[in-house]
């Protein structure tokens, strides 16, 4: 008989390459804390069910504490037969307390165990990620408040469109991240279900009080179906979707800043601490933090599609394919645990350049304002759009700026123009016209800032 958890019916050794193929200890060791927490609670449930004596329970809990200690201090020694974290912990427990360790797995399967571990792990991680998100949001709000006076070109199709407050642009990302934050909270509700007690697939024959077990582990619900409980990785897929979409948001933010920090726009100067140089061109300062974030969004999307592809053809219940959930999950977590604070730092240290923003404002970004002015004089918008189109064409023909066209010229195009129309050539005025909620006028942006601060205050847990 081999020394394996499942060795009884096997003769001889597993092929070494097969063992390498099968083993997950290399990556699932990061579940050690969750695994041990789950096992300690399960041991108590076994005691309640009359399977363990008080002394055996004490030994198991004590032994598991030692094992956790070894993991945490880096002293845990992985041995050749340690297939995964569950096997390794039990093997070590056996070394520490002897045969009593063999009672821990009564009525439990690694199938319900690993599903429980993953949920416990992810529950902790999403709190950490919520904190990282909040820090980035806080940075965006602080910048928005500090630079409320700055006006820059707003873009559609990345063509100059209408002037907006720099703060308004910053806050557009605050709201994206707020949706990400909400989604994570939402996922928290679906994570809050305990699979333990599902056994391998059919449930447990023991008098395990699953509600009490759930309470011990801080879950408010138990899985209602044991087959579903062991085969369900929806919560991992959801997390990976969350990560992919957040990655897309970070990528878009990065793309904006790669463009804004390019010397030909020069709206911001990035700090040396978040940029790198070229080994060949001495003048270069490259926005690597943002390029990496943009690039890494690709791997986050890959993790989501990879997992969904793994899941789609599986028969019900547990299948070893599910072991493929972990590396993707852990990599998504690691990627974002790093990307979020790096981008937060890059944002907090960049230097906005008011002169460059102002220099990039072009009069034709006020063409809509001129059309709006005609609308206020009773001309239907469709018609005023066409009239201002003619004004733009005239300026193009004369190769001058819109504000250089005198009143007589405007009036030749349409008699409704009078001296007041010329007041339109003012970027501050244009921005301040957009005072409806959600717009870019100072008052409307200040409302956003207040709303954002209220949310950040409420988001504390």
Restricted to residues 4-33, the positions that interact with ligand ARG (CB under 6 A) are 24, 28
- Which of 322, 329, 333, 339 binds ligand ARG (CB under 6 A)? It is 322
Residue whose C-alpha is closest to residue 310's, from 322, 300, 301: 322
Binding segment for ligand ARG (CB under 6 A), chosen from 50-58, 94-102, 201-209, 319-327, is 319-327
Residue whose C-alpha is closest to residue 150's, from 165, 128, 136: 165
278 is catalytic: yes
**Contact predicate 222/210, CB 8 Å:** yes
Residues in the chain: 461
- CA distance linking residue 286 with residue 337, whole number of Å: 22
| Separation of CA 253 from chain center | 13
Rounded to a whole number of angstroms, the minimum distance from the CB of residue 335 to ligand ARG is 21
Helices (H), 278-380: 288-312, 325-349, 354-359, 367-376
Q: Report if residue 421 touches ligand ARG, rule: CB under 6 A.
A: no
Residue 320 vs 376, nearer CB to ligand ARG: 320
- CA distance linking residue 373 with residue 368, whole number of Å: 9
Record the tokens describing residue 188, joined without a space.
């928290």
Helices (H), 73-165: 85-97, 110-146
- Which of 44, 84, 90, 232 binds ligand ARG (CB under 6 A)? It is 84
Q: Report if residue 226 touches ligand ARG, rule: CB under 6 A.
A: no
- Which of 14, 106, 286, 323 binds ligand ARG (CB under 6 A)? It is 323
Residue 31 vs 374, nearer CB to ligand ARG: 31
Rounded to a whole number of angstroms, the minimum distance from the CB of residue 42 to ligand ARG is 15
- CA distance linking residue 126 with residue 110, whole number of Å: 24
Rounded to a whole number of angstroms, the minimum distance from the CB of residue 209 to ligand ARG is 24
Q: Per-residue string for binding with ligand ARG, 94-113, x by CB under 6 A?
A: ----------------xx--
Among residues 2, 127, 220, 278, which one is catalytic?
Answer: 278
157 is catalytic: yes
Among residues 157, 168, 226, 430, which one is catalytic?
Answer: 157
Record the tokens describing residue 460, joined without a space.
């504390």
SS percent in the chain: helix, strand, coil, step 5: 65, 5, 30
Q: Report if residue 114 touches ligand ARG, rule: CB under 6 A.
A: yes
Q: Number of residues in contact with ligand ARG, rule: CB under 6 A? A: 10
Active site members: 157, 278
Write out the residues near ligand ARG by the rule CB under 6 A: 24, 28, 84, 110-111, 114, 318, 320, 322-323
């Amino acid at each position: 008989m081999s020394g394996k958890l499942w060795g009884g019916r096997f003769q001889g050794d597993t092929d070494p390459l097969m063992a390498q193929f099968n083993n997950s200890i290399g990556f699932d060791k990061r579940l050690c804390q969750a695994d041990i927490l789950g096992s300690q609670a399960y041991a108590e449930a076994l005691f309640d069910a009359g399977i363990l004596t008080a002394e055996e329970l004490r030994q198991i809990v004590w032994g598991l504490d030692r094992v956790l200690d070894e993991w945490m201090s880096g002293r845990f020694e992985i041995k050749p037969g340690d297939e995964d974290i569950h096997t390794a912990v039990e093997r070590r427990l056996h070394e520490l307390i002897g045969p009593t360790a063999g009672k821990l797995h009564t009525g439990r399967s690694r199938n319900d165990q690993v599903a429980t571990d993953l949920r416990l792990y992810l529950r902790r991680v999403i709190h950490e990620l919520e904190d990282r998100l909040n820090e980035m949001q806080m940075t965006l709000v602080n910048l928005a408040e500090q630079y409320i006076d700055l006006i820059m070109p707003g873009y559609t199709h990345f063509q100059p469109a209408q002037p907006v407050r720099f703060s308004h642009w910053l806050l557009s990302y605050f709201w994206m991240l707020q949706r990400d934050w909400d989604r994570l909270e939402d996922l928290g509700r679906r994570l809050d279900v305990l699979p333990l007690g599902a056994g391998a697939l059919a449930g447990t024959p023991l008098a395990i009080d699953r509600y009490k077990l759930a309470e011990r582990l801080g879950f408010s619900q138990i899985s209602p179906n044991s087959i579903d409980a062991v085969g369900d990785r929806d919560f991992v897929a959801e997390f990976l979707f969350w990560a992919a979409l957040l990655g897309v948001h970070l990528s878009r933010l990065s793309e904006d800043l790669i463009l804004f920090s390019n010397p030909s726009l020069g709206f911001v100067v990035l700090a040396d601490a978040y940029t790198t140089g070229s080994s060949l061109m001495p003048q270069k300062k490259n926005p690597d933090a943002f390029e990496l974030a943009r690039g890494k969004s690709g791997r986050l999307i890959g993790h989501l599609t990879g997992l969904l592809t793994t899941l789609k053809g599986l028969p019900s219940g547990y299948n070893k394919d599910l072991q493929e959930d972990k590396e993707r999950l852990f990599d998504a977590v690691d990627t974002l645990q790093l990307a979020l604070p790096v981008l937060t730092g890059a944002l907090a240290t960049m230097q906005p350049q008011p002169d460059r923003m102002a220099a990039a404002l072009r009069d034709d970004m006020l063409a809509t304002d001129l059309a709006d002015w005609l609308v206020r004089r009773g001309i239907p918008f469709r018609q005023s759009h066409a009239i201002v189109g003619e004004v733009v064409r005239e300026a193009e023909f004369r190769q001058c700026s819109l504000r250089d066209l005198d009143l007589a010229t405007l009036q030749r195009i349409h008699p409704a123009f009078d001296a007041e129309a010329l007041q339109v050539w003012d970027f501050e005025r244009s921005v301040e016209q957009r005072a409806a909620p959600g717009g870019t006028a100072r008052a409307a942006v200040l409302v956003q800032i207040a709303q954002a601060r209220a949310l950040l205050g409420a988001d504390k847990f």
